[in-house]
């Protein structure tokens, strides 16, 4: 393992830890005190806590240990060490912030504030963790098991499981809590996607131009990026030409567009958002 890859692993664990801490704060301060079961192991733990009065953090330990054991028996060791680390770190921090070093808890009458602020914090934390190719376990494990045996899509299965937990919250507490829990599940999913998009989004740019040498030189020497020539033939003109294809960070896009406009007003430029770009200058590995 090279020094670079060691630094990457250390960085991923540090960022994953930060993400888990933020998630734990959102749960302990806003969601758990108001019985908002926004899916996952934490949502199920909130419901079980109301039935048998063990702390939510302890219930999460029990739930995740059982789920991991079932998963190991049914689908084998199909989880990264980062996922196991983040899962049980989240359990520990929820118990730590709830009982050992208690954080102040929001207990106002306006539950929509608890949903919004709790979801914002947990979604930001989970997105940071997901961006490091990790997970906080919980119902993700059940989704993996269903996917293995019934070929059900992971995302759809996870959504159904979380919605079921929200309905259980309504039956356990009251209809209002159930609806707030389902609302929290929906907002959480949307917010995670939004934050992940901002954290990981890269841009791919396709440039069709008669000034390819000048633009290629700018990309290589001024922007420090590599690119690929794609061979193409104009459908209308029949003219053969090399097309520039380059992947960039989103913040680099305006610099390139500005230069292309300056050297070739007639250039044809296509910009696409890319969920992942792996390789030199980007994320090195999955």
The pLDDT tens digits along the chain (286 residues) read 444 468 878 988 999 999 999 999 999 999 999 999 999 999 999 999 999 999 999 999 999 999 989 888 887 766 778 889 999 999 999 999 999 999 999 988 889 999 999 999 999 999 898 878 788 888 888 888 887 788 777 778 888 999 999 999 999 999 999 999 999 999 988 898 888 777 766 889 999 998 999 999 999 988 888 999 999 998 888 888 899 999 987 778 888 998 999 999 989 999 998 766 777 666 655 4
Do 9 and 82 contact (CB within 8 A), yes or no?
A: no
The pLDDT, as a whole number, for residue 83 is 86
Report the alpha-carbon distance of residue 16 to residue 10 in Å, rounded.
Answer: 10
Q: Return the SS3 of 274.
A: strand
The pLDDT, as a whole number, for residue 2 is 43
The pLDDT, as a whole number, for residue 237 is 83
Report the alpha-carbon distance of residue 160 to residue 168 in Å, rounded.
Answer: 12
Phi then psi for residue 76, to 5 deg, are 85, -175
Torsion of CA 65, 67, 68, 70, to 10 degrees: 120
What are the E-state strand segments in 143-251? 202-208, 228-233, 240-249
Please state the separation of Cα 172 from the chain's center in Å.
Answer: 30
The pLDDT, as a whole number, for residue 46 is 96
Nearest to 113 by CA among 52, 179, 180, 210: 180
Do 38 and 122 contact (CB within 8 A), yes or no?
A: yes
- What number does CATH give the domain 201-274? 3.30.70.120
The pLDDT, as a whole number, for residue 140 is 83
Tokens of 76: 């084998």
Report the alpha-carbon distance of residue 251 to residue 269 in Å, rounded.
Answer: 17
Do 13 and 136 contact (CB within 8 A), yes or no?
A: no
The pLDDT, as a whole number, for residue 285 is 52
CA count, 13 A, side-chain hemisphere, 175: 0
Where are the chain's structural domains? Answer: 3-199, 201-274
């Amino acid at each position: 393992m090279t020094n670079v890859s060691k630094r990457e692993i250390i960085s991923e664990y540090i960022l994953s830890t930060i993400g888990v801490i933020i998630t734990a704060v959102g749960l302990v301060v806003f969601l758990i005190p108001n019985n908002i079961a926004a899916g996952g192991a934490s949502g199920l733990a909130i419901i079980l806590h109301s039935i048998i009065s063990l702390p939510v953090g302890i219930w999460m330990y029990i739930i995740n240990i059982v789920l991991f054991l079932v998963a190991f028996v049914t689908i084998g060791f199909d989880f990264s060490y980062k996922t196991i680390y983040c899962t049980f770190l989240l359990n520990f921090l929820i118990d730590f912030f709830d009982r050992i070093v208690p954080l102040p808890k929001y207990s106002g009458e306006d539950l929509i504030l608890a949903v919004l602020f709790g979801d914002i914090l947990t979604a930001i934390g989970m997105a940071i963790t997901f961006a490091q190719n990790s997970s906080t376990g919980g119902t993700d494990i059940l989704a993996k098991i269903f996917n293995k045996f019934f070929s059900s899509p992971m995302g759809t299965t996870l959504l159904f499981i979380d919605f079921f937990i929200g309905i259980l919250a309504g039956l356990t507490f009251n209809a209002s809590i159930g609806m707030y829990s389902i609302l929290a599940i929906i907002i959480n999913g949307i917010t995670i996607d939004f934050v992940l998009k901002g954290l990981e989004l890269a841009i791919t740019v396709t440039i069709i131009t008669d000034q390819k040498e000048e633009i290629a030189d700018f990309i290589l020497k001024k922007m420090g990026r590599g690119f690929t020539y794609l061979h193409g033939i104009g459908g209308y003109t029949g003219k053969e030409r090399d097309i520039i294809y380059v992947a960039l960070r989103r913040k680099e896009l305006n610099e390139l567009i500005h230069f292309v406009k300056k050297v070739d007003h007639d250039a044809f430029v296509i910009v696409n958002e890319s969920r992942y770009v792996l390789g030199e200058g980007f994320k090195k590995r999955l």
